[in-house]
Structure 1
């Protein structure tokens, strides 16, 4: 009996892990591209390798516009321009979105607004490729779930190690 229970739990865990991987890959491939203006803050971490800690202008706008929010988690609505750059429009109130709008999930932790992630990790020694970062590139699902997929420069071009 005990072996079957362990086997069943193991299979359930593998199924959950595979579902999570599949949903993230689907988001990466099919999510809507949204660029968020950023301000890098602490560019290195000796304990975790090289990374850029990120703070997004949208988070600052949300804090200014919304003030004290009753719920620590929710959705905001971004308006996208022709370059797919998102600007804070309003908190989501359930209204249908216009063609140039997208929902984005946010969390408030320790008084800080978090959007998907607060760091972008890269291979050790590759920091020079990301020094000019001005935008975070996200893939966003219809439900507001987001995945940071890269960084872009002031001219909206992707940054990173050149392909071989």
Structure 2
């Protein structure tokens, strides 16, 4: 009968502790962005309203994404900051992109973005909601984001053309996935 050697348990516990620490740090970062970030509305381009496997959701397509893809069309890989100028309704209008954060005027905000291949990403593009409410959310005209001073963006909702937040008809709040 072969003797079994027992591995020490401490590497497992260190790994578990590190995973918990990293997850909590990510949650803290998102909570801080929600409480301290500035609200920016981004115009939406046409989108796909549902997925058979995931249920009802909107795949948001920001107009800013299309502008950045056109601006950086010749580059396969680019990381930078989109400079936005906010109008009186809080809608961010693309001005230009920068490789490093520029100084900002009071009505300007930055959004950090990455371009890989032909696609630009800066915030969640999937907005999930209760099944059967797809028609209600078809009136979405703006993505509502919280944006930090460092340019990190978090999708928190969608708004209609009158800048009113679209909450579920039954009062529940939909979710976005980062």
Q: TM-score, normalised by structure 1?
A: 0.91
Alignment counterpart, residue 75 of structure 2, candidates 57, 69, 75:
69
- The residue aligned with 1:105 is 112
Alignment counterpart, residue 20 of structure 2, candidates 14, 25, 43:
14
- Structural RMSD (CA): 1.8
Mapped to 2, the partners of 1:108 and 1:117 lie a distance apart of 14
- The residue aligned with 1:79 is 85
Mapped to 1, the partners of 2:141 and 2:76 lie a distance apart of 31
The structure 1 segments of at least 4 consecutive aligned residues displaced by more than 6 Å after TM superposition are none
Q: Does 1:155 align with 2:162?
A: yes
Query: Aligned with 1:41: secondary structure?
Result: strand
Mapped to 2, the partners of 1:77 and 1:71 lie a distance apart of 19
- Mean alpha-carbon deviation: is it higher for 101-110 or for 147-156? 101-110
Aligned length: 164
Contact 1:40–1:53 (Cα < 8 Å) also in 2: no
- The residue aligned with 2:176 is none
- The residue aligned with 1:114 is 121
Query: Aligned with 1:24: secondary structure?
Result: helix
- The residue aligned with 1:132 is 139
Larger radius of gyration: 2
Query: Aligned with 2:48: secondary structure?
Result: coil
Distance 1:69 1:97, change over 3 A: farther
Mapped to 2, the partners of 1:69 and 1:144 lie a distance apart of 21
Query: Aligned with 2:9: secondary structure?
Result: helix
Gaps of 5+ in 1: none
By how many angstroms is 1:43 displaced?
0.8
Query: Aligned with 2:84: secondary structure?
Result: strand
Contact 2:129–2:168 (Cα < 8 Å) also in 1: no
Contact 2:37–2:147 (Cα < 8 Å) also in 1: yes
**Residues 2-81 of structure 1 correspond to what in structure 2 (within 5 A)?**
2-69=8-75, 71-81=77-87
